[in-house]
C-alpha cells in the first residue's frame, strides 16, 4: 500500500518536473526569429518641395573630386527620391520594446569613400559594434559629436589611407550623433543609436524593421532636418505591420 502511494507520488513529481522544465524551455528567448516575430514596413514621404541641396565642390581634394566627376554630389540633409520618398530616415521602436538592447549585431561599416560617409545615416543599437573604414587615398578624421556631458563620449581619431578599421560601439542611446570629418569640412553624417530593432529608409523612402514580436509599440521616425515623428503600431503574431510617415517640407 505504502509502495503504491510512493510510486504515484514519484510519478506526479516527475510529471510536474517535466512539465515545469518544458514550460521554462518554452519561455527561453531565441536568436532565430520564432514564427511569432514579425516586421514593420512602410514608406516615409516628404510633402512639399524639398529644400535646395547645395552642390559640394571637393576641388581641395582632387582624388575625391575625381570620384564624383560624372555624378556631382550635393549636401544630403534632405534626400528625396522618386514619388517623394524620403531617404535616410531612421525608424525604431521608441516605446514597448522589452527585448535586449542590442537586438541587431550586423557590425555595419561606416565607410569614407569619395570624401563622403557611406551610409550618410546609420542606425545602430546600443553596444552594437561598427567598423569605420577609410577607402580613400587621403587621410580622414572621424569626429562623432554626441551630446556633451552625456553617457556617449566625443572622440576624434585620424585614419590615414591604409590604416586598419576602427572597431567601436556606443554605450548609450542617442538620437542622433552628428559625425564630421575635421579635414574635409563638407563631410557630414549621423549615427542614430537606439535600443532594439530599427530600419533606415532607402532611396524610395521604404523601410523595414525586422524582428518585432507581437505587441503594442510606439514607432519613431527621425530625419536629420525635420526631427522625429511618432506613431502607435500594433504588431500581431506572424503578420507584418505597416506604418507610413509623412514629413512636411517647411
Partner 1 sequence: MHDTSTHAVAHHGPPTSFIRKHIFSLDHKVIGKQYYGLGLAAVIIGMVLSWLMRIHLGWTNYAIPGLHLLSKNGAAGDIMTPDFYLQLMTMHATFMVFFVLTVAPFAAFGNFFLPIHVGAEDMPFPHFNMMSFWVTFVAFCVMLLSFFVGDGPTLGGWTQYAPLSAVGAVAGPGEGAGVVLWATSIAIFCVGQLLGTLNFIPNVLDLRAKGMSLWRLPLPTWAWFITSCMGLTAFSVLMPACIMLILDHVAGTSFFVASNLVINDQLQPHSGGSTLLWQHLFWFFGHPEVYIAIVPGMGIISHVLITNMRKPMLSHRVIVYSLVALAVLSYMVYGHHMFVSGMNPLSSLLFSFPTLLITIPSTILVLIWIGSLYGAKLRINAASLFALGFISMFVTGGVSGFFLAQPSIQILLHATYFVVAHFHFTMAIAAIFGIFSGTYFWFPKMWGRMMNETLGKVHFWCSFVGVYCIFMPMHYLGLAGNVRRYQAFVVDYMQPLVGVHRFITIAALFTGAAQLIFIYNFIHSRFWGKPAPANPWEGTSLEWSVPSPPPHDNFGGRHVVVYHDPYQYGVQSSTGDYVMQDSPEQVKSAHEEP
Partner 2 sequence: MAKLFAVTIVVIAILSAIPIVRNTWHPMEDISTHGQAIDDQLSETMWEAGISFLASQIILAWFIWRFSGTKLGEKTKNFPGGAAGLVAAAFILVGLEVFALGIFGVKAWANIYFTQPAANAMPVQVQSGQFAFYFRYPGPDGKFGPLHPDLINEANQNIFGLDPDHDPESKDDIVTAEMAIPVNREVRLLMHAKDVSHSFYVPALRIHQDFVPGLDLQLHFTATKVGRYEIVCSQLCGLGHYNMRAYLSVLSQEDFDSWLKKQATLQ
Minimal distance, residue 105 CB to partner 2, in Å: 29
The 8-class DSSP code of residue 236 comes to B
Find out whether 96 and 216 touch, Cβ atoms under 8 Å: yes
| Cis amide linkage into residue 145, ω under 30° from 0 | no
Minimal distance, residue 59 CB to partner 2, in Å: 5
Q: Does 162 bind partner 1 (CB under 8 A)?
A: yes
Find out whether 222 and 192 touch, Cβ atoms under 8 Å: yes
Q: Does 150 bind partner 1 (CB under 8 A)?
A: no
Residues in contact with partner 2, shown as a per-residue x/- string from 182 to 221 under the rule CB under 8 A:
xxxxx-x---------------------------------
Minimal distance, residue 52 CB to partner 2, in Å: 8
Q: Which of 8, 54, 153, 239 binds partner 2 (CB under 8 A)?
A: 54
Minimal distance, residue 53 CB to partner 1, in Å: 18
Measured distance CA(83)–CA(158) in Å, rounded: 39
Q: Which of 6, 17, 161, 236 binds partner 1 (CB under 8 A)?
A: 161
Q: Which does 149 bind (CB under 5 to 8 A by kind): partner 1, partner 2, none?
A: none
Measured distance CA(184)–CA(136) in Å, rounded: 12
Q: Does 154 bind partner 2 (CB under 8 A)?
A: no
- From 170, 179, 168, select the one nearest 150 (Cα to Cα): 170
Q: Which is nearer to partner 2, 182 or 230 (CB)?
A: 182
Residue 55 pairs in a beta bridge with: 74
Measured distance CA(93)–CA(211) in Å, rounded: 11
Q: Does 120 bind partner 1 (CB under 8 A)?
A: no
Amino acid at each position: 500500500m505504502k509502495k503504491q502511494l510512493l510510486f504515484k507520488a514519484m510519478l506526479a513529481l516527475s510529471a510536474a518536473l517535466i512539465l515545469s522544465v518544458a514550460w521554462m524551455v518554452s519561455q527561453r528567448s531565441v536568436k532565430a526569429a520564432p514564427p511569432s516575430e514579425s516586421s514593420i514596413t512602410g514608406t516615409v514621404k516628404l510633402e512639399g518641395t524639398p529644400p535646395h541641396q547645395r552642390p559640394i565642390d571637393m576641388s581641395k581634394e582632387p582624388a575625391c573630386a575625381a570620384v564624383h566627376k560624372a555624378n556631382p554630389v550635393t549636401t544630403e540633409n534632405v534626400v528625396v527620391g522618386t514619388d517623394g520618398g524620403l531617404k535616410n530616415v531612421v525608424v525604431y521602436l521608441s516605446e514597448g520594446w522589452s527585448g535586449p538592447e542590442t537586438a541587431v549585431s550586423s557590425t555595419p561599416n561606416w565607410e569614407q569613400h569619395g570624401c563622403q560617409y557611406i551610409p550618410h545615416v546609420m542606425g545602430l543599437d546600443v553596444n552594437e559594434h561598427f567598423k569605420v573604414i577609410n577607402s580613400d587615398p587621403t587621410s580622414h578624421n572621424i569626429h562623432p559629436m554626441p551630446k556633451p556631458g552625456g553617457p556617449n563620449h566625443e572622440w576624434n581619431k585620424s585614419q590615414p589611407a591604409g590604416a586598419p578599421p576602427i572597431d567601436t560601439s556606443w554605450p548609450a542611446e542617442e538620437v542622433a550623433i552628428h559625425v564630421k570629418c575635421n579635414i574635409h569640412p563638407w563631410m557630414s553624417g549621423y549615427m542614430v543609436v537606439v535600443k532594439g530593432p530599427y530600419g533606415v529608409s532607402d532611396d524610395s523612402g521604404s523601410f523595414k524593421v525586422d524582428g518585432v514580436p507581437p505587441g503594442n509599440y510606439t514607432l519613431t521616425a527621425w530625419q536629420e532636418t525635420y526631427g522625429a515623428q511618432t506613431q502607435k503600431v500594433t504588431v500581431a503574431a506572424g503578420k507584418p505591420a505597416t506604418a507610413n510617415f509623412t514629413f512636411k517640407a517647411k
